[in-house]
Structure 1
Amino acid sequence: MEVFEKLVIERDRHVGMVTIRQSAETNVLDSSLTAELSSAFLTLNQDAAVRAVILKAEGESFLAGADLKEISGLSVSQAYGFAEKAKALQDLIIHSGKPYIAVVNGYCLGSGLELILTCDFRISGPDALYGMPEINLGLIPGGGGITRLQMMVGKAHATDLIYTGKLLEPEEALSIGLVRKVSDRPLEDALLIAESLANKSSLAFAVAKQLFSRPEADDSTLINQEMRAFSMMFDYPDSLEGIGAFLEQRQPVFKERREMST
């Protein structure tokens, strides 16, 4: 079995479990974790004995977004490459014929929220917080978050989250359909779902999932437009100021508005 630095793969009968290890700081989705998650998902997707996958994290957060130190100062082309890698990771879940279940604790923000939007089930712990705070950094979601969030919770809730950068507590996330259940024992509940699905016809589930994943109004095009718009933000000073202010623990001072062609 492949050895990872930032995650662990376990197998319990027909259920595969990917656990993001607690980092020295709050868990963030950097390039090395993206690569490891991609390898883990590919491994489990190809394992015929695994019929359901659970994704969870150690510590006090699930994923608090991208690593801002890593993306600060990216060029437009580098930012688009970052978005492409995020999309490729998500595609391993979307195009898998197996159910993916996210168990969420603590912060689930930005690219972390984008990742769980691609899972088939989302089980929330009572301490979870959900949000798309990119606007506070002079950015927008870069991995399909606008498109998928609107599809899942509707335009009104999606615009509220993305325009304001607000955080949702578990019960509000449940009320708008962002998560399936709020539980004091989210992992146990996820295992019950996984074991139930593992006993279903894997072919029937895969076909049903494929049909649910069909694009409406050409979502692939919409997400590609998001990726291009996200990467273009790195050609403007607001993103540099927003990320810099966050890393320096101060309030950002954004300059007057500049138009951008997407």
Structure 2
Amino acid sequence: MTTPRVLVEIDGPVAHVILNRPDKLNGVDLDMLAELVAAAKSLRRNREIRAVILRGNGDAFCAGLDFASALRSPARIARSFVPSPLRGTNLFQRAHWVWRELPVPVIAVTHGRCYGAGLQLALAADFRYSTPDCEWSVLEAKWGLVPDMAGTVPLSELVAADVAKRLTMTGEIVSGTRARELGLVSEVADDPLTEAREFVQVLATRSPDSVAAAKKLLNETRRGRPRRAFRIERRLQFAMLRSKNAGIARKANFAGDSPDFGPRSFGR
């Protein structure tokens, strides 16, 4: 039996999605890409999930694309490179962007190495918690390539243009601490997994619908014209006003109680 490349463990309202090729420093192959997409699809259907923690087994979060493995199947690579007419993403991009589209917060917890495909996967998360000594690199530059797994969009959102260009052109390696200074990393901690869990507890005190709507709102309005942003704001707020969980929040706040939210109802 083939060992799963991606493990999904449900711990109450939290889903842990774990890259599971520790002997390869969680290097990404085509099977892992497919399993990442499948994992996100299964979690989307679970409305009890309040957050996803994305991490890696072993000594690294992810050391990037496993070229040796991927190049064994050139025909499969070619098929995986073709974008879907419906979504506009190919498999390489979809396996990363699907976490951006998931209607719950996704927190990447990194250690060891966060290179190339791994860095792009971390950038697709809503938050990144890193050890101080984790190594971050847009490693595609080493191979004479550019990042092509949907990572350029969040990279350009998180850091200044000159920083994005420098990292992408040089492939330089920066520590988790330096990545935090540059804006790539949300928080740095010796035990980032514990910090991420504590943050999830804070998120769980809020309506799962408003959290999902906030993610969608900010993702869709970060770029573009103000009029479009205002339209999206109105549409999402109207949905929240009709949300059962919003009613629970209002009632609890007026009574001075802690809200007891039901399952997420927003986001397919």
TM-score (norm 2): 0.74
* Residues 144 and 170 of structure 1, relative CA distance in 2, 3 Å threshold: same
Q: Quick one: which of 188, 197, 208 aligns to 2:203?
A: 197
Distance, in Å, in 2 between the alignment partners of 1:88 and 1:100 is 15
Gapped regions of structure 2 (runs ≥ 5): 84-88, 226-268
> Which structure exhibits the higher relative contact order, with contacts defined as CA atoms closer than 8 Å and separated by 6 or more residues?
1
Separation of aligned partners in 2, 1:184 and 1:205: 27
Q: Which residue matches 1:9? A: 8
Asked if 1:129 corresponds to 2:96, the answer is no
Unaligned ranges ≥5, structure 1: 219-262
Instruction: Give the whole-Å Cα distance in 1 for the aligned partners of 2:9 and 2:141.
Output: 37
> Match for 1:44: what amino acid?
L
Aligned-residue sequence identity (percent) comes to 30
Q: How does 1:167-186 map to 2 (within 5 A)?
A: 167-186=173-192
Q: Secondary structure of the equivalent of 1:108?
A: strand
Offset at residue 6 of structure 1 (A): 2.1
State the aligned residue count.
216
Cα distance, 1:46–1:4 mapped onto 2, change above 3 Å:
farther
Task: Measure how far apart 1:150 and its partner are.
Answer: 1.8
Shift of 1:188: 0.5
Where 2:168 maps in the other structure, the secondary structure is helix
How far does residue 143 in structure 1 lie from its aligned partner after superposition? 1.5
Q: 1:90 to 1:125 in 2, by over 3 A?
A: same
Deviation per CA, 1:204-255, whole angstroms, max 9, x where unpaired? 111111111116259xxxxxxxxxxxxxxxxxxxxxxxxxxxxxxxxxxxxx
Question: Which amino acid in structure 2 is aligned with residue 127 of structure 1?
Answer: D
Counterpart in the other structure of 1:61: 60
2:223 aligns to what? 216
Equivalent in the alignment of 2:237: none
- The residue aligned with 2:118 is 112
1:71–1:21 CA distance, 2 compared to 1 (3 A)? closer
How many Å apart are 1:148 and its aligned residue?
Answer: 2.4
* CA 1:133–1:5: 2 relative to 1, 3 Å: same
Greater Cα offset, 49-58 or 86-95 = 86-95
Is 1:89 the equivalent of 2:88?
A: no
Instruction: Go from structure 1 to structure 2 and tell me whether the alpha carbon gap of 1:184 and 1:12 turns closer, same or farther (over 3 Å shift).
Output: same
Q: What is the CA deviation profile of residues 148-205 of structure 1, one whole-angstrom value per residue up to 9, with x for unaligned ones?
A: 2122111111111011110110111010111111101111001111122122111111
Identify the residue that residue 243 of structure 2 maps to in structure 1: none
Structure 1 residue 126, shift from structure 2 partner? 2.7
Q: Give the conservation status (yes or no) of the 8 Å contact 1:14–1:195.
A: no
How far is the alpha carbon of 1:21 from its aligned partner?
2.1
Please report how far the alpha carbon of residue 106 of structure 1 lies from its aligned counterpart in structure 2 after TM superposition.
1.0
In the alignment, the residues of structure 2 paired with residue 146 and residue 176 of structure 1 have an alpha-carbon distance, to the nearest angstrom, of 15
- Conserved 8 A contact 1:15-1:195: no
CA distance in 1, matches of 2:153, 2:210: 27
What letter is aligned with 2:186? R
1:15-30 alignment, distance < 5 Å = 15-30=14-29
Q: Deviations over 1:104-163 (max 9, x none)?
A: 011111111111111111000133111112122121111222332122111111111011
CA contact 1:71–1:79 (8 Å) conserved in 2: no
RMSD (Å) for aligned C-alpha atoms? 2.3
Using a 3 Å threshold, how does the CA distance of structure 1 residues 146 and 7 change in structure 2: closer, same or farther? closer
The letter of the residue matching 2:65 is: A
Partner AA of 1:117 in structure 2? L
Of 93, 103, 116, which aligns to 2:109? 103
Matched residue SS, 2:22: coil
After alignment, is 145-154 or 159-168 more displaced?
145-154
Answer yes or no: is the 8 Å Cα contact 1:57–1:104 preserved in 2.
yes
Are the equivalent residues in 1 in contact too, given 2:96–2:150 (CA < 8 A)? Answer: no
Q: 1:15 to 1:174 in 2, by over 3 A?
A: same
Counterpart residue type for residue 47 of structure 1? N
Q: Distance in 1 between matches of 2:169 and 2:80?
A: 21
